[in-house]
Amino acid sequence: MTYSFTLPRWFDAHVHLRQGNLLTTTIADQLSTGCASVLAMPNTKPPITRISGPSSETSMTLSEYHDELMNHGADAFENLILPLYLCHQTTPILLEQGVREVELKACKYYPPKGTTNADHGAPIEHYIKQGIFETMKELGIVLCLHGESHSLSHEQYFDQHINAEKDFYLNTLPRLIDKYPALKIVCEHITTKEACDLVSSADANVAATITPQHLLFTVGHLLRGFNYHLYCLPLLKFEEDRAALRQAIITPNQTHFFAGTDSAPHTHKTTDCGCAAGCYTAPVAPNLYAMAFEAAGCEFSSDSTLQLFKNFMSTNGCQFYGLAESTKTFTMTKTASELTPRETNDGTLVPLPTGLNFTGTEHLLSWSVTI
């Protein structure tokens, strides 16, 4: 059966646009899906750790990255949120400068060495001691968390009973929330039942983004034949975790969970030292999210499903970040769509689900988008 529905354009509350020549493609792909606004990650090279002035070999400024994005088409977004990368050099004075000069809305915590270009991050205890989180609370700056513990052994990092994310949401974040109950926190790209449980039971200051790949796939999809295009951090988890994520997004009237793709453009997924972390979903994110809602048992012929999908894609994230919901629209149609690799001056981008070697039809796109 073919049917369509139209919604306000959506907000991607976690995306990697990257730099240089890739920006023309990544921004165009993002806009092509009816994406009105984005929160673009600061783990660039060099990282975005200062507010204004010229960049250096070790630090990019928010103002310079903003200008680079605008020069590649980002002025078409209704809202562009650029977080500051928290590092050893972050100070309360720097945060005050950010709010004063560029209306800084968010800062990003990376566990040291936890993901792509996260080597500059410091342990959470450092920011507590330096008064960073206290200042963010006072200034109304959102803390965007990559929620994984960084000091675990290999055995604990990904085990049957414990993993880096599970440990973080059981032992670290509860203490942080208790210490700073008024601090606004977004738990980004959550992957575990424990993260779902914590966010669901928290007050309105705590929310979470969920990616399409973590709603659709498990670690088994990654490992069987090693579908390295599914390799991302945090890693895909188990069926119990995927079921919890799906239940979170289809719970009636939920306001804690919203779209954040973590789309990451890598022209070389496999490298001499391993596999680059990140899935490129910018051209098809709404398609994949719609497939995930269906996999969770929802039917888009139902008004209740349309409301759930609208809340997740277009409403909850905007409300949390204080953005106006878009007055423009995009339309989704229940019809198969094709996807091909993106050729760029820097190499080829392979979007999900292109490149996956599954059998059957579970990876085919069953929705199309028009704007």
What are the per-10-residue average pLDDT scores of the chain (371 residues)?
92 97 97 98 96 92 97 98 97 98 97 75 95 98 96 91 96 98 98 98 98 97 93 97 98 97 94 86 98 97 97 98 98 93 92 83 84 96
- Give the pairing type, strands 274-275 and 270-271: antiparallel
Residue 358's pLDDT is 77
Say if residues 206 and 255 touch (Cβ distance below 8 Å).
Answer: no
Distance CA 184, CA 282 (A): 26
Residue 64's pLDDT is 96
Distance CA 321, CA 105 (A): 8
Count CA atoms within 13 Å of residue 267 on its CB side: 16
Residue 223's pLDDT is 95
Residue 359's pLDDT is 64
| DSSP code for 302 | S
Catalytic residues: 262
Report the candidate in 269, 273, 245, 270 with the shortest Cα–Cα distance to residue 259: 245
Report the candidate in 166, 164, 151 with the shortest Cα–Cα distance to residue 112: 151
Rounded to two decimals, what is the model's pTM? 0.97
Distance CA 199, CA 62 (A): 29
Residue 117's pLDDT is 67
Distance CA 70, CA 293 (A): 33
Residue 355's pLDDT is 86
Report the candidate in 46, 41, 106 with the shortest Cα–Cα distance to residue 277: 41
